[in-house]
Amino acid sequence: MAALLYALRTLARDWKSGEIGVLVVALLVAVGSLTAIAFFTDRVSKGVERQATEVLAADLRVRSSDEPNPDFFVEAGARGLDSARVLAFPSVVNFGDEGQLAALRAVSEGYPLRGALRVADDLFSSAYVVRDIPPPGEVWAESGLLARLGMAVGDTLQVGAVELRLTRVLEYRPDQSVGFVALAPTVLMNLADIPASGLVVPGSRVTWAALFAGGDAEIARFRAWLEPELVEGERLQDLSDAGEQVTGAIDRAQRFLTLASLVSVLLAAVAVAMAARRYAARHVDSVALMKCLGAPQRFVLQVGLWQLTLLALVAGVLGSVIGWLAQFGIAWLLAELVGGALPAPGWLPALMGLVTSLAVLTGFALPPIVQLRTVAPLRVLRRDLPPPRVAAWVSATTAIGVVVLMLYWVLRDLRLLLVVVGGIAVLLAALVLAGWLLVRVSGRLRGGVGVSWRYGLANISRRGGESITQVVAFGLGLMVLLLLTVVRNDLLDGWRASLPEDAPNNFIINVQPEELASVREIFRANDIEPPVFSPLVRARISHLNGVPVRELEVTDPDGRGLLTREANLSWSAPLPASNTLVAGRWWAEDSRGTEVSIEEGIAQSLGLGVGDTLGFSIAGEPLTGQITSIRAVAWDSFDPNFFVLFQPGEIEEFPTTWITSVFVPRDERTALLELVRQHPSVSVIDLESIIAQVRQVMDRASLAVQYVFGFTLLAGVVVLLAAVQATRDERRYESAMLRTFGARQGVVLRGIVAEFVALGLLAGILASVGAVVIGQVLARQVFRLDYAVDPMVLFGGPILGALLVGIAGTLATRSVVRTPPVQTLRA
């Protein structure tokens, strides 16, 4: 108890005198950055969880690409179950001359069977729950659509061949996804309007859902009846498999963001270590006195442990409050991506905050504090006795141990842990080496500069270890910011610029065979060269090398996706222009047969090679093809391309629609409007608006990541403060000596400014070089571009670094210069 009281008193006093300020701020940054992510992902997970019960908008759901069997509804009715139907497909809707890709959902009376729709009467009024659906002739649309088309409630929306009045703003539907990027806003309409719209014809790419709800027992019995009735292409969904994909996406996002925030935690931990070492050094005399007055080692240890525990508690709670506040920022930045209002977070992240603060203190502050108990009481008489030292291997082992444990806690995957630990070790080694080189080189330069700069540069090389830490801390933060802002934009712009001027900017899908001639004629009439159309046959992969896919366990998510959804097949006599052969041989142009060519990514995902066989179910009929070639596809050609191409001759008899991509100049878009009006079932997808939307999503996501790395810069500032604090006595003494010898205050201050500006420059150079190297690697490996170095990257780093570190460092140190020399020398 005495130890606790003493610990409390000392901490309170040390807090007042600013002695533990840096330590606390470092902990707050660590806890704040980690809990911000934890609170945010907790909200998203809670949203998903809350929605899980209504995510199907039913108890049982049958998904299919064809209209569901009417017998299902008859049987459900006979068993006293409620039922409804949903038809979903993407389509371009028009308001005046403006078109926008929308996710159309046509629903029948009774939808949703579970959960409820929430709507608002206009864009800015509050939402309320409704129990009905849009009546025929009306639509309810998400606010995104209104914004993008400049519409208001009451306006008329062109949906295929019909005009529907927008009567409400759709705020929420139970089966919307949370934590999922939905590019197109939803338009909810009445199923009864679909025939008149002409949007759905045989072969259209649509998804039907039959919804059923009722008592648990009835649903279970109905399910038992239903399962044997299902045919190929119909999939039963219940709560257990709903949202599986969503949860996976959230897991990945959480891991990524948490890893990003761990960078700040690590840097803050370095600051904690520096501050704790100084704290221990400052308390050596007090401990010697306490021991002289009769305090046993146990008491000293207890005091130290209480101090750490109290600090951990305070920083854990306050840091969690900061994290809680900061997550609103992330939620706001990512609002469009997670969709809908998120529920409030739970308390678990705060617990994580406490654990983090305790772990950081244990790993980085415990060794010097524990070591205090070995201070010799004789120090009260002999100040020259050296203070106890913590063996380097003890500090290193505890710190690394805690970091590895924290990483494992985030990753929960031993293999990934090894990869990440290895990656961090290599990255740190590279950064430290670069930092060391920079510090060395700057030390050499000091012969050729003025007195202030010489003093500054001398300080940097004299405090080599601390200088390297600061250069790495700021360098890393600045590098990430440069990458996310300048380099990212450069690369995207470069990629856009690398596309040919006349690269297709519109996809035209769902063209029926009998419409081909008329569509071509519309182009010709508008002086546009009709593009080449590719056939498209919808099929399902049923067998791999003769083994039914349901008996296969495919671990690759892309491969699994391909096996569970419908595949688009096509046929072609020549090898398409944007394809290159990577294995096997291409069939002769005039050959007929069942040879198949697959895309290389898919070959890899499914583990397929030349000579393997693929079994398909096309409109219920089986067809097997043998793989004779594997292709690499340049997807960014924007030509219609296919994962699976057949040799001509076999699949032409199946229902086919045609697809193409075409370049239509902005001012000639009337041709496309005419096309849509004459052929309502044909969908025109404007690539530019999709690219713009993708870019918007990326902008938002990268803003969120920048936000997380803002904590990294903050951690860098804390490292700087810790370093300044650690050297304050020394600096005060030096400044007093210099001024005693006649240096004016200005000269000493200039020396300090020079030191921090130089440090910032070094960090900035590290950041710029790093950003340029990573940018070049990305340009070559991912974008296949020649990327000229942007002067913004080259000069941005050093300028930003010099400003940030120069200002922060000078502000933190200026009191040293202000202290009258006599006060320092007398003390």
Footprint on this chain of other proteins (rule: CB under 8 A): 2, 5-6, 9-10, 13-14, 17, 19, 285-286, 289-299, 376-378, 380-382
Q: Return the number of other C-beta atoms located less than 10 Å from residue 551's C-beta.
A: 8
Per-residue CA distances from 635 to 481, 558, 599 (Å): 29, 16, 11
| Choice between 591 and 823, CB closer to other proteins | 823
- Min CB(797)–other proteins separation in Å: 42
Distance of alpha carbon 705 from the chain centroid: 7
Asked if 273 and 365 touch (Cβ cutoff 8 Å), the reply is yes
- Of 223, 241, 191, nearest to 56 by C-alpha is 241
| Choice between 9 and 818, CB closer to other proteins | 9
- Min CB(395)–other proteins separation in Å: 24
Element (H, E) at 304: helix 297-333
| Choice between 282 and 520, CB closer to other proteins | 282
HSE of 616, CA atoms in CB hemisphere, 13 A: 26
- Min CB(327)–other proteins separation in Å: 36
Task: Report cis status (omega within 30 of 0) of the bond before 368.
Answer: no
Rounded CA separation 115/129 (Å): 10
- Min CB(22)–other proteins separation in Å: 17
Rounded CA separation 214/74 (Å): 15
| Choice between 88 and 376, CB closer to other proteins | 376
Asked if 7 and 303 touch (Cβ cutoff 8 Å), the reply is yes
Kindly tell me the burial class for residue 124, based on how many C-beta atoms sit within 10 Å of its own C-beta (0-12, 13-18, 19 or more).
exposed
| Choice between 288 and 338, CB closer to other proteins | 288
- Min CB(734)–other proteins separation in Å: 23
- Min CB(377)–other proteins separation in Å: 5
- Min CB(307)–other proteins separation in Å: 12
- Min CB(126)–other proteins separation in Å: 55
Element (H, E) at 395: helix 392-411
DSSP label at residue 784: -
Over its C-alpha atoms, the chain yields an Rg (Å, rounded) of 33
Rounded CA separation 175/744 (Å): 72
Element (H, E) at 791: helix 791-818
Q: What is the DSSP string of 208-219?
A: EEEEEE--HHHH
- Min CB(23)–other proteins separation in Å: 15
Cβ within 8 Å of residue 550, ≥6 positions away: none
- Min CB(394)–other proteins separation in Å: 21
DSSP label at residue 573: S
Per-residue CA distances from 192 to 83, 158, 374 (Å): 16, 16, 84
Rounded CA separation 318/23 (Å): 13
Q: Return the number of other C-beta atoms located less than 10 Å from residue 774's C-beta.
A: 15
| Choice between 290 and 541, CB closer to other proteins | 290
| Choice between 375 and 618, CB closer to other proteins | 375
Residue whose token pair is 């440069």: 482
Taking the alpha carbons at both ends of the chain, their separation in whole angstroms is 34
- Min CB(289)–other proteins separation in Å: 5
The DSSP bridge partners found for residue 616 are 541, 623
| Choice between 383 and 666, CB closer to other proteins | 383
Q: What is the dihedral of CA 36, 41, 46, 48, to 10 degrees?
A: 160
Contacts 24+ apart (CB under 8 A), 1-4: 2/299, 3/299, 3/302, 3/303, 3/306, 4/302, 4/306
| Choice between 275 and 509, CB closer to other proteins | 275
| Choice between 285 and 336, CB closer to other proteins | 285
| Choice between 19 and 466, CB closer to other proteins | 19
- Min CB(5)–other proteins separation in Å: 7
| Choice between 302 and 689, CB closer to other proteins | 302
Token pair for residue 272? 């904690």
- Min CB(370)–other proteins separation in Å: 16
Angle between helical axes of 297-333 and 21-52 (0-180°, round to 10): 50
- Min CB(20)–other proteins separation in Å: 11
- Min CB(21)–other proteins separation in Å: 14
| Choice between 297 and 745, CB closer to other proteins | 297
| Choice between 13 and 252, CB closer to other proteins | 13
| Choice between 289 and 424, CB closer to other proteins | 289
Residue whose token pair is 């182009």: 523
| Choice between 285 and 600, CB closer to other proteins | 285
- Min CB(11)–other proteins separation in Å: 9
Asked if 713 and 804 touch (Cβ cutoff 8 Å), the reply is yes
- Min CB(304)–other proteins separation in Å: 14
Per-residue CA distances from 487 to 260, 324, 333, 704, 764 (Å): 18, 31, 20, 16, 15
Asked if 413 and 259 touch (Cβ cutoff 8 Å), the reply is no
| Choice between 380 and 774, CB closer to other proteins | 380
SS3 583: strand
- Taking 3-state DSSP, the helix, strand and coil percentages for the chain, each rounded to the nearest 5, stand at 55, 15, 25
Element (H, E) at 416: helix 414-444
| Choice between 235 and 282, CB closer to other proteins | 282
- Min CB(374)–other proteins separation in Å: 9
